[in-house]
Amino acid sequence: MSSMLEINEKAFFEQVLQKIWASPGEHFMSQATKRALKKSDIAKQFIKASSVVYVIMAFVGFEICWWYHQNVHALLGPVNYELGMTLGIIVAAVLFLNICQRYMELQFSSYKKFKKSLAAIFSGLNVFGAIVLALLSSVGEELLFRGAIQPFLGVWITSFLFGLLHLDADGNVSVWTIWAVVAGLILGAVVNVTGSLWPAIAIHFLINFIGIRGLSKIDLSAPALMQDPSTR
């Protein structure tokens, strides 16, 4: 009986993994976007590759925390910090970083161009897809950078390395890179203050989810949506 349950459980998880990993572009995209993106396999491959990279980041970060730092229970255990203050930190960080992103969009044409290139990938992504990508990216990057690397190199160097992970579409340092460095400093400080990765993961998840959902709603057939508001 137990062997039958194990077989059924294994088959169930194989089906789930197949749906998530076999063709993320098909599983995550809305019907309209599926048709629109059939001409471009780049979007699908980007989502699939990103998902795999984030899982690898999470695995490597967890292993370093578990075997070398031996701080997994502290970082991923209960948050030993006042709840109201923790929630306040999360909300303040998310608001500040989103305001910075909005400012960059209004002031820097290079960022608007970069955002448009991302919109071509994420346009039409449904809520489930946005949640999965935001969750994988936040957990993977926080485990690797704040959990594994920060104890070695400190907040500043880790934040610069985190920024270099966020280059523009041409692989150059940009205003988005600078924003990522600032975000890394905030996330690193949050981990140091709270002693836990969960608040940083929550901030990271909310930032990414809001960003991905915003990109997914951009209508690429309406160029005016990507124009500088001052030129409308």
List, for residues 42-72, the tens digit of each pLDDT value: 667 778 888 999 999 999 999 999 999 999 9
Residue ranges of domains in the chain: 45-231
pTM: 0.79
pLDDT of residue 41: 59
Reduce the secondary structure of 179-201 to three states and give it as a string: HHHHHHHHHHHHHHHHCCCHHHH
Q: Which of 73-82, 94-103, 120-129 is least confident?
A: 120-129
What are the Cα distances from residue 117, in Å, to 42, 55, 170, 226?
A: 12, 24, 11, 11
Please say if the pLDDT value at position 83 is more than 70. yes
pLDDT of residue 43: 66
Please say if the pLDDT value at position 102 is more than 60. yes
Look over the chain and give the mean of its residue pLDDT values, rounded to a whole number: 81
pLDDT of residue 204: 97
Q: How far apart are CA 129 and CA 89, in angstroms?
A: 27
Which amino acid is located at 141 in the chain? E
The answer to whether 95 and 4 have CB atoms below 8 angstroms apart is no
For residue 135, the tally of other CB atoms under 10 A from its CB is 16
